[in-house]
Amino acid sequence: MLNAYYDPHEAARLEVATRSAERQRRFLCSLDPDSVLLDDFRELIEAAHARRANANAGAPVREKGAPLRVLLLGYAGAGNTGADVRTIETLRQLRRRFADQPLELTVFACGNIFDHPELRAANVLMPSDVYLPDALDAAMDRFDVVLNVEGSTYTSKFSDALAALLIGGVGLAAAHGRFACAYGIDAGAMSARLERFAPATARDVKIVCRSRGTAERLAGLGIATHDGADTAWAFRAAPNSLPPLPPRYAVLCPNNPFWWPVHTDVRRALELDVTGAKSPLRYGPLYFHSWDDLRAARFAAYKRSFAAIADGLRRRGYAPVLVAMEQLDRAACEEIAALLPFDVPIITRGVHSLDTVVATLESAQWVVTTRYHASVLAIANRVPVVGVSMDARIDQLFEENGLADWTIPCDERGFEQRALERIDAGIGATLDSLRDAYAALTQREIAKFEQMGLQLKRDVDAFFQR
């Protein structure tokens, strides 16, 4: 006989909490925690789909006049300029396109750098102490629409754990009957486990790509996609955001292309925490960058090449300025500056605001960058760019738009020579032609982004009228 005080809802809650604790324990104790994370996301997605199928559930019913509750899933708050401008422009578009109804906009936060009014105006969903897959699973009832707004989604370049969050997050939303969309995303090289995970969790998720290469790569995995654009093309810095800089300057945006991906290493993190030791490779509580002698040698060569470009620019009459597009890039900028016999300004996201970073790019004479969104923001302002590419993103941007001559692999020995040759060639009629190509490209991409917004509005309205 049931106890008189038995509460079935409380019992169900405790059962869920117990399962979550078991998953988290398995993750923390595993020799391969990133694989466990992917498996747990997939298990929760499949369970949510099964519950809805058993209940014969349709789309969630929205009360008339209730706000449309939208979660923007991504990398906002970590001090990454590209991730934040993508989020900001999506927030702005949502307010324009859904102006006919109340909106409740929430941004998933990967940090606390919210140095722009659009970011500060949104609600924030911070990762809790609850195991992340279960925390997101539990949060889905709070939203009607979930958009993945991070560009680097279907890739193992940076982290399978980050990919699990982004791909698994919209997969969970769809499994819970929410409108789920990956919005203007990219795809790159994936681990075998991520190649299995991506199509297995794509059911009922709309995926909008920002490049032809992305669509082709995902089609190879059997994932249907739609054409779109990156969401950052329309962003412009607020007026009067430019810091004091020389009147004729060129921007260099390096990073460390060689210490990715990060991997989860619980034991290593615990050892450091117990001993109080520090590691320059640690990234967050449980993650560590990849590093060895070969990576160190390649990074040293990369820094020497960037220093040589800075010196060459100075000899050509341009004051070099180093820009750290993400907080993580600050060390690379400082180490390159240390190789130079003259002082170089360093503009660092986190120390300087998002608008200051973007304004510095907008007013430059040249930009040389390994950061994808430094390319986008410079091109959008007709600033000539040399891309020093670390993966397919810059290559696709340039090659798909007739600009293949303006990108160089970051591991090419002595790439400074080719970069400076490009800069020397980019004068007169060549520069005018390049800027005209930039203007046409920017117009096309902004138009595609606006079409994405119109289609999103139609899709969401239709979804909740089923």
SS3 category, 263: strand
pLDDT at position 17 is 75
SS3 category, 176: coil
Residue with the two structure tokens 């009228």: 465
Query: Is pLDDT at 183 greater than 50 in this prediction?
Result: yes
Query: Is pLDDT at 15 greater than 80 in this prediction?
Result: no
Q: Give the span between the Cα atoms of 49 and 202, in whole angstroms.
A: 12
DSSP 141: G
Query: Is pLDDT at 438 greater than 60 in this prediction?
Result: yes
pLDDT one-digit tens code per residue, 291-324: 999 999 999 999 999 999 999 999 999 999 999 9
Quickly state the pLDDT bin for 61 (edges 50, 70, 90). confident
Nearest to 184 by CA among 397, 341, 8: 397
**DSSP letters of 421-464?**
HHHHH-SHHHHHHHHHHHHHHHHHHHHHHHHHHHHHHHHHHHHT
Give the predicted TM-score (pTM) of the model.
Answer: 0.94
Nearest to 257 by CA among 190, 325, 358: 325
What average pLDDT does this structure show over 355-375? 98
Quickly state the pLDDT bin for 1 (edges 50, 70, 90). very low
Report all structural domains of the chain as residue ranges with CATH numbers, in order of start.
Answer: 27-235+447-463 (3.40.50.2000), 249-262+291-425 (3.40.50.2000)
